[in-house]
Structure 1
């Protein structure tokens, strides 16, 4: 072997080593099933998140994981959703960090399944969402069931309603919401799993209509009249400049509010096996 060939071989070795090292952070070791607390994230774009990603959102925590598009558990760094190319900072990652902080003996697993722009009627078996060419409910269910092989579902986080703030859909919102929660709990075998829903954005540039108020009233009423259900306020939160989506700081705050609601409510009587 010539000197040049030998030198070239030596130069190539560190590159290969670096490739292995670079891949290692994504390799995670899962805890025992009882110590792996899972949370399902469902709804539309304000659950998926559209906030601008900052360096702090890319900091991995070994005890906060997410199920990626390929069905693999990886560190939860934003964006964790993949419904659209504009996915960014959402509330899920901060929620996970807060729950992990409060429970140092467990690992948190997030199951992102939100789809931007979807009305609640697209969250039923067989429903198709033309803009995203997806079946939101049917795509979510196998992901959630696959995740349950590794952990225990401890809660369902929902943020949705903008797609139903019209005269027709708003009238059926509470009925559809009740059926959705009952169906999720039954199909995932979590009859007492906490269901936490967040309030729609309250932005001056987009005043609420009668239909928006109707959706808000339905969400509040559901939380008030059903066990293991909580409503999280969006008071004081800001939008990113479009009068529709929260900004990154508001998503992080919303995640903290979801976490506070979860931590302060009585724990479910039973969980998935």
Structure 2
């Protein structure tokens, strides 16, 4: 009986911590990172104990627009939201910058094609406006901190015959528009690779979208690409498993720290 009670107390503690607004540092000491894309940015991994433990200097903007300790799931786009790459990324960046607090702005929307990341576009699957909803959250976040980077993971929904060829131009345009939105023309932008899972061959269209991601750093300043080589899916052949999400977050952090070194 004691162990279930302790477990319940731990859950209640984390829940209260995540719901509790926190005191913020000065604006220059709160470094903000925008998380955008589709479900592999939102995260679909199974939440484990380590994912529910907040870091003292990693916050997230909640669904309600409040700054709270960051625990998974960071996102709220669908009920399937779970472990993603954002928390691991933030913890590593926080440890590399002892004097600052990291503020995550979760805005990814599962299944969203890149065309839905434009002003005024409605995405029926989640009954949302991905760009407009993100813009509102950015407007809430920016007065509190300083935008330091944009993390993007998306492409599966555009790996189709009628969409793939146009993806690169749309991606470059998206980088430009996101930087204009956050008023940071040189903000680091990092794109992650779609899952390259053993036994799950890519379509020719997925290869085209992947090439747009891989070529980004050669064509757009202050951008980087993160490989998903060797990572595993959670059994659905689409989404990374929890361990792979954490590894992907580590790779994003390493790419970011290399960019700003």
TM class by shorter chain equals: over 0.9
Aligned to 1:238: 232
2:178 equivalent to 1:147: no
Which of these residues, 69, 74, 77, is aligned with residue 75 of structure 1? 69
Structure 2 portions without partners, runs of 5+? 1-11
CA distance in 1, matches of 2:181, 2:259: 23
Which of these residues, 31, 35, 42, is aligned with residue 29 of structure 2? 35
Shift of 1:168: 1.3
2:237 equivalent to 1:248: no
Q: Which secondary structure state, in structure 1, belongs to the residue aligned with residue 124 of structure 2?
A: coil
Shift of 1:226: 1.4
Aligned to 1:218: 212
**TM-score, structure 1 length as denominator?**
0.88
Aligned to 2:157: 163
Larger Rg: 1
Aligned to 2:9: none
2:48 equivalent to 1:54: yes
CA distance in 2, matches of 1:142, 1:79: 20
Structure 1 portions without partners, runs of 5+? 1-18, 268-273
CA distance in 1, matches of 2:254, 2:114: 25
Shift of 1:23: 4.3
Q: Between Structure 1 and Structure 2, how many residues are aligned?
A: 249
The C-alpha deviation readout for 1:163-206, integer Å capped at 9, x for no partner, is 00011111110110111110111121010000000000011342
2:101 equivalent to 1:107: yes
2:161 equivalent to 1:174: no
CA distance in 2, matches of 1:206, 1:128: 31
Structure 1 residues 89-98 or 222-231, which shifts more? 222-231
CA distance in 1, matches of 2:125, 2:100: 38
CA distance in 1, matches of 2:40, 2:129: 18
Q: Which secondary structure state, in structure 1, belongs to the residue aligned with residue 151 of structure 2?
A: strand
CA distance in 2, matches of 1:27, 1:37: 17
**1:13-24 equivalence runs, <5 A:** 23=16
Aligned to 1:11: none
Aligned to 2:251: 257
Q: Which runs of 4+ in 1 moved over 2 A?
A: 22-27
